[in-house]
Amino acid sequence: MIQSFLLVGLPYAAVLVCVLGSIWRFRSKRFSYSALSSQFLEDRQLLWGSGPWHVGIFVVLAGHAVAFLVPSVWASLVSNRTVLIGVEVLGLGAAILAILGLVILTLRRLRNGRVQAVTTTVDLVVLGILLVQVVLGLLTAVTHRWGASWSTGTASPYLWSLATLRPDPALVADLPAVVQAHMALAWVILLLVPFSRLVHLFSLPVLYVFRAPLVVVWANPRRFERATAFVERIEARRYFLRATAGLAAGGALLAAGTFDQFVHFFFGPRMSEKQSADLMEKKLARLEQNAAQKKLELERTRQAYIRVAKVSELSPKKGRYFVDYEMRPALAFQGQDGLPVLRSAKCTHLGCTVGSDVDAQGRILCPCHVSYFDVGTGRPNPGAPAKDPLPAIGWVLMDADLNIVASRSPDGAVHGAPDPSQLQDLDVYIAKAPEGRRA
Amino acid sequence: MKLGEIAGGTATFVRERFPVEKLNAESMLTKKVVPVHRMSWAYYLGGLALFFFLVQIVTGLMLLFYYQPTVSDAHASVEYITQHVSGGALVRNLHAWSSSAMILSIIVHVLTTFAMKAFAKPRELTWVTGVALAMLVFGFGFTGYLLPWNQIAVNATKVGLQSIEAVGQYLPGEMATWPTYVRETIQGEAAVGQATLSRFYALHVIVLPFLVAGLLGLHLFQVQIHGMSRGVDSERVGSQKFFPFFVIKDLSVWGVAFLVLFVLGLCLPFESFFAYPLMEPFDPLGSTPEGIKPEWYFFFVYYPLELLPYWAVMLGMTAAVVGLFVAPWILRGASRRTLRAIAIAAAVYLVVITVFGQPIYEALKGVNP
């Protein structure tokens, strides 16, 4: 019986009284229809009490309102773990802020003589009820966690049932006592609105935030100057505050939007076994490539001759890359006389590596700045960015027993004549000795 | 000139550039005003460059958490950042886009301050430090380009360094080999390799940031202590308070810039402008792939190097750099109209060579001889 009164009768009674009472108060005591501010009696403690209280309760009520007005949207929002935790933390913080503010406001009412003089019993009752209400809400949040989530299936539909005049108290009848008390007290507060300074809920000075400041001055030139400077200062301050608020809001949105990414950036990836294996394989291949490069270098410091290829492996159409004694790229071709042609592949213009494909005119291309070099002479085409020919590199031909059969010095002089029938089986070497190296 | 006069002149010079009586928050912050006129937008460019520099510091430090500066690991570590690290591709993309944005805003900043004669007494130091900062930022671009150790990076660095050596052909006798020593000193070895990577890494991550921080401090200090230059010849110039109005607008511009940068970083990978093989790891034994080019902000010197005789380009560039440094003194008497004409001519050259460099090159050289 009591429960059905608290869950159905009280809400309707409260709304009815609130609406009718407000109308009555507006018609009979119009000038009391405000917060009845006591700022001019005491403003320091008011700032530290009223500020936190209003900020805190605004955040909390906004959360309640969204959950009740659009429960499906809210439910999908808080189904995300991060959002749910964020909402709960924000709500708890705001509630604590509101309680702090209320405590300061209550102490102020009780201790300041000037404020006490204008304090009525209703004021103290309202303060007390508000304090109890916020504490109940805080208790609910702490003892029955994740209210942001479970309220969408209980309190929200219950409120909708009330609003659509088909009250369904069963939706909340089984909720814990602390939650029911919180709900009942909310209706009591609504009931009290027309009879207390809570009516300022309906007379919010919203435009105050946006309108330009008014300064009342005497019509006197000296004061006028001072007033102008004053207005300028106020305008600068308002601009600064508004802009800072905007930037802070933007910054908060930005932080919220990028936070997830950046935290995970530092957390580092947790790869699957296959991914790590693939990555390791790739890194190993690079290390091996690097090791091969080092081996080549070492070989070039230690060895008198270095094998390039078999003569039969050379082609007149496609050069074969090798590394010369200076660790620079070089190309080996088959010349027109069947003997090898070895040429540096480092472009004489700016040092790019020349391509290995021989075109119809017997030239190879440096792709960086389009220079064509003749394979036979090494000379660049007229008008090419490169001016100097690609240097020739001397070679030595050896048989399988490492006997030198023939050699060519960089200037083109051939020593010895290989037997044409055996030529294809010989190996091409470059030599460290000066006479075998290019000029 | 007597020694005493030189000392006195120096003292006066320093005293005028560092006015002690203005060394307080009041004249550097609360009383400072920013002129309002047709060219006022140019006052935001320096701040914009600063903002992009801050983005570079933050994203650069983030990349530093994963990057490994060795020949065998550099490319793999960059790939690791873009493919595996959460948000890594975004951070790297932001770093790349922001570098371009920073250089662009610096170039426009130099041009506009030149046109507005912002280097006039007593702001010579602001100008000189500014030109030095611009050079350092190009240094950032050049050294940072090598770090991913891909084909285009290493080959473009080779080409860039090789062009130092080309100075040798104009030097007499023994001096002809000096540029080679210079190049190899920068490279750290005979060819671009691990030593070069280590050096460029040190320059990019430690040396240049500290140099920039120092010069930037001096630059900003001079800007605050002398205030903004008037910028135009016209007598009727309005003004607005630096704090809070200009500061807030500056921050708003930063906000918009970040938004654009972020969207760009999310949606458009900077590598999409390069042909695929250029992003492959550098292969010391293979041939150089086609399309090796420096970043767009080097085009103004790259294409002339391709098209004109080397000495002409070097002479022109040296003259331009020296001219920029001594502009406050040689252009002391120049009117803003003249300066604007010079700046516009320079801007036209930069835009044309940067945007149409390739077609011009192909038209003048012929692609297939």
Dump pLDDT digits (tens) for B139-181.
999 999 999 999 999 989 988 898 888 888 888 888 888 998 9
Would you state the structure tokens that stand for residue B188, as one six-digit string?
């750290």
Q: Say yes or no for a CB contact (<8 Å) between B287 and A321.
A: yes
So what's the pLDDT on residue A438? 39
Q: How confident is the model at residue A435 (pLDDT cuts 50, 70, 90)?
A: low
Question: Mean per-residue pLDDT for B234-249?
Answer: 85
Question: Mean per-residue pLDDT for A252-265?
Answer: 81
- Among A370, A374, A387, which would you mutate to test the B interface (most chain B Cβ atoms within 10 Å of its Cβ)? A370
Q: How confident is the model at residue A290 (pLDDT cuts 50, 70, 90)?
A: confident
d(CA A342, nearest CA chain B) in Å: 16
Q: Say yes or no for a CB contact (<8 Å) between A368 and B292.
A: yes
Least confident of A405-409, B73-77, B250-254: A405-409
Would you state the structure tokens that stand for residue A142, as one six-digit string?
């702490």
Question: Mean per-residue pLDDT for A340-354?
Answer: 86
So what's the pLDDT on residue A212? 73
So what's the pLDDT on residue B145? 95
Residues near B317 by beta carbon (within 8 Å), at least 6 away in sequence: B301
* pLDDT score of A16 more than 60: yes
* pLDDT score of B366 more than 70: no
* pLDDT score of B365 more than 80: no
Q: Measured between alpha carbons, how far is A294 from A280 in angstroms, rounded to an integer? A: 21
Q: Measured between alpha carbons, how far is B24 from B37 in angstroms, rounded to an integer? A: 27
Q: Measured between alpha carbons, how far is A135 from A346 in angstroms, rounded to an integer? A: 81
DSSP-assigned letter for residue B100? H
Size of interface A-B (CB pairs under 8 A): 116
Give me the residue from B86, B244, B369 closest to A261, CB to CB: B86
Question: Mean per-residue pLDDT for B232-260?
Answer: 88
Nearest CA in chain A to B64: A266
Question: Of A158, A151, A124, A144, which Cα lies nearest the Cα of A66?
Answer: A151
B137 or A405: whose pLDDT is higher?
B137
B191 or B269: whose pLDDT is higher?
B269
Q: Measured between alpha carbons, how far is A50 from A37 in angstroms, rounded to an integer? A: 11
Q: pLDDT tens-digit profile of A298-345?
A: 988 888 888 899 888 899 999 999 888 888 889 999 888 888 999 999
Q: How confident is the model at residue A437 (pLDDT cuts 50, 70, 90)?
A: very low
Residues near B221 by beta carbon (within 8 Å), at least 6 away in sequence: none
* pLDDT score of B233 more than 70: yes
- Among A294, A347, A353, which would you mutate to test the B interface (most chain B Cβ atoms within 10 Å of its Cβ)? A353
Nearest CA in chain A to B246: A240
**Sign of torsion, CA A18 A19 A25 A26?**
positive
Q: How confident is the model at residue B94 (pLDDT cuts 50, 70, 90)?
A: very high
* pLDDT score of A13 more than 90: yes
Question: Mean per-residue pLDDT for A279-301?
Answer: 88
Averaged pLDDT of chain A: 87
Question: Mean per-residue pLDDT for A160-177?
Answer: 91
Question: Mean per-residue pLDDT for A69-82?
Answer: 89
d(CA B347, nearest CA chain A) in Å: 27
Based on its alpha-carbon atoms, the radius of gyration of chain B, rounded to whole angstroms, reads 23
Q: How confident is the model at residue A96 (pLDDT cuts 50, 70, 90)?
A: very high
* CA max distance for chain A: 128
DSSP-assigned letter for residue A392? B
Give me the residue from A239, A289, A354 closest to B245, CB to CB: A239
Give me the residue from A254, A265, A351 closest to B88, CB to CB: A265
* pLDDT score of A81 more than 60: yes
Question: Of A131, A40, A56, which Cα lies nearest the Cα of A91?
Answer: A56
So what's the pLDDT on residue B369? 40
Question: Mean per-residue pLDDT for B117-126?
Answer: 92
Question: Mean per-residue pLDDT for B250-279?
Answer: 89
Q: Say yes or no for a CB contact (<8 Å) between B287 and A370.
A: no
User: Which residues in chain A are closer than 8 Å to B91, comparing Cβ atoms?
Assistant: 265
Least confident of A17-21, A292-296, A430-434, B45-49: A430-434
d(CA A367, nearest CA chain B) in Å: 5
Question: Mean per-residue pLDDT for A81-104?
Answer: 92
Tokens 């708003």 belong to residue: B252
Question: Of A186, A229, A244, which Cα lies nearest the Cα of A10?
Answer: A186
Nearest CA in chain B to A386: B306
* pLDDT score of A439 more than 50: no
Alpha helices in chain B (DSSP H): 3-17, 25, 45-64, 74-83, 88-115, 124-146, 151-165, 178-187, 194-202, 208-226, 247-267, 299-307, 310-330, 336-365
Phi first, then psi, for residue A318 (nearest 5°) are -140, 120
Tokens 């209703």 belong to residue: A122
Q: How confident is the model at residue A434 (pLDDT cuts 50, 70, 90)?
A: low
So what's the pLDDT on residue B368? 47
Q: Measured between alpha carbons, how far is B346 from B108 in angstroms, rounded to an integer? A: 11
- C-alpha angle A388-B275-A280 in degrees, rounded to nearest 5: 105
Q: How confident is the model at residue B136 (pLDDT cuts 50, 70, 90)?
A: very high
Question: Mean per-residue pLDDT for B53-59?
Answer: 96
Q: Say yes or no for a CB contact (<8 Å) between B87 and A352.
A: no
Question: Of B281, B241, B25, B275, which Cα lies nearest the Cα of B153?
Answer: B281
So what's the pLDDT on residue B291? 78
Q: Give the Å distances, CA to CA, from B6 to B9, B10, B12, B13, B123.
A: 5, 6, 10, 10, 21
Q: pLDDT tens-digit profile of B331-353?
A: 998 999 999 999 999 999 999 99
Q: Measured between alpha carbons, how far is A439 from A145 in angstroms, rounded to an integer? A: 85
So what's the pLDDT on residue B135? 96
Least confident of A6-15, A154-163, B232-241, B338-347: B232-241
So what's the pLDDT on residue A157? 92
pLDDT-above-70 percentage for chain B: 98
* pLDDT score of A161 more than 50: yes
* pLDDT score of A205 more than 80: no
d(CA B51, nearest CA chain A) in Å: 15
Helix (H) or strand (E) holding A261: helix A221-267
Based on its alpha-carbon atoms, the radius of gyration of chain A, rounded to whole angstroms, reads 45
- C-alpha angle A32-A38-A42 in degrees, rounded to nearest 5: 175
Residues near A57 by beta carbon (within 8 Å), at least 6 away in sequence: A94, A98, A134
Residues near A238 by beta carbon (within 8 Å), at least 6 away in sequence: A213
* pLDDT score of A228 more than 50: yes
Q: Say yes or no for a CB contact (<8 Å) between A370 and B369.
A: yes
